[in-house]
Amino acid sequence: MHASRLVRALPLLFICTLAAAGTTPRTTTRAAAPAQPDIKSALVLVMDTRTSTVLLARKADQAAPIASITKLMTSLVVLEAAQPMDEVITVSAEDQRATAGNRSHLAVGTRLTRAELMHLALMASENRAANALGRSYPGGLPALAAAMNAKARALGMDHSHFVEPTGLSSQNVASPQDLTRLVAAAAQQPTLRQYSTDAKHSIRSGKREVQFVNTNLLVRSPGWDIALQKTGYISEGGKCLVMKTVIEGRDVIIVLLDSLGKYTRIADARRIRKWMESTTAWRSAIAQSEPRLLGMNVQTRAQ
């Protein structure tokens, strides 16, 4: 049995504060546990982004395979390399071999711009597109993996490691806490926000028009305001989901790793939203953080 399966019965922790991404963690305190959503995912973190208050957590500092969530880091590093987004790249036999065993709608010989490849990698989780992005990175795939690990260190992702751009390798790992940092950084890029949340996108492949749809059905669900998202799945890591979204007027990051069942991660996200809409206990935790942040801001301005 996969080790993470054993933690599903553990209760979620309701935690008041966590350090902002990129800062030294402060000591956290626990509030009285409210009625909590019945989250099925093995590793969980829900964080209010303005105050870095952790609202729910389970195994938040444990590294686990992150599958195609990897593509967020791939795209962030490629984007920051400032390569021409209109450069045409041909999907190659190398991309096919690197993603063997996984269905793709991108035939060998398909010519797409770097922007189109990134769009499909983020929205439709196209593995050949992600591999082509890495293959065309300056220095190729080894250089991209090194850059991804360097970016992880710069973001303070202390439990992360990357070996390739698609997420098909179980050696691509990160903790939920690490992924809140990645999501926060990626959400600062308008391109990544748009590409990851588009509901559908079509490309020309030879004489055919091929339509792709978003792997996260919540982007098409009324009432959800999602700024950035990425799904993932490999057998070693289960179903995964990260999102930056707005719930009850608060920007929150949701990380769900190692979910069983086709729709469990989606159901967990909905349970989290319903919990936030139906209880006020999490607001008390945020209220404890905001005065301290205000004080720090005042002090900074006074220096």
Please say if 4 is a catalytic residue: no
**Angle 294-61-163 from CA coordinates, rounded to 5°:** 115
pLDDT digits (tens, 9 = 90+) for 263-289: 999 999 999 999 998 887 778 778 776
Residue 165 scores a pLDDT above 60? yes
Shortest CA distance to 179 belongs to which of 76, 35, 285? Answer: 76
Q: What predicted TM-score, i.e. pTM, was given to this entire model?
A: 0.84
- Enter the tokens of residue 121: 């990698």
DSSP 222-249: TT--EEEEEEEEETTTEEEEEEEEEETT
- Enter the tokens of residue 267: 């159901």
- The mean pLDDT value for 137-166 works out to 98
Please say if 160 is a catalytic residue: no
Residue 14 scores a pLDDT above 90? no
- Enter the tokens of residue 47: 């964080």
Q: How does residue 298 score in pLDDT terms, banded at 50, 70 and 90?
A: very low
Please say if 68 is a catalytic residue: yes
CA distance linking residue 167 with residue 125, whole number of Å: 10
- Indicate the average pLDDT of the chain: 86
The residue ranges of every structural domain in the chain are 1-303
CA distance linking residue 291 with residue 297, whole number of Å: 10
Residue 33 scores a pLDDT above 80? no
Annotated catalytic residue within 68, 175, 196, 289: 68
Annotated catalytic residue within 4, 52, 104, 125: 125
CATH architecture of the domain with residue range 1-303: 3-Layer(aba) Sandwich (3.40)
Q: How does residue 246 score in pLDDT terms, banded at 50, 70 and 90?
A: very high
- The mean pLDDT value for 83-97 works out to 96
CA distance linking residue 112 with residue 204, whole number of Å: 8
CB 37 within 8 A of CB 271: yes
- pLDDT confidence of residue 291: 53
- Enter the tokens of residue 300: 């900074």
Taking every pair of C-alpha atoms in the chain, what is the biggest distance, in angstroms?
Answer: 63
- The mean pLDDT value for 38-57 works out to 93
- The 3-state DSSP class for residue 164 equals coil
Residue 8 scores a pLDDT above 90? no
Annotated catalytic residue within 59, 71, 230, 244: 71
Phi and psi at residue 275, in whole multiples of 5°?
-60, -45
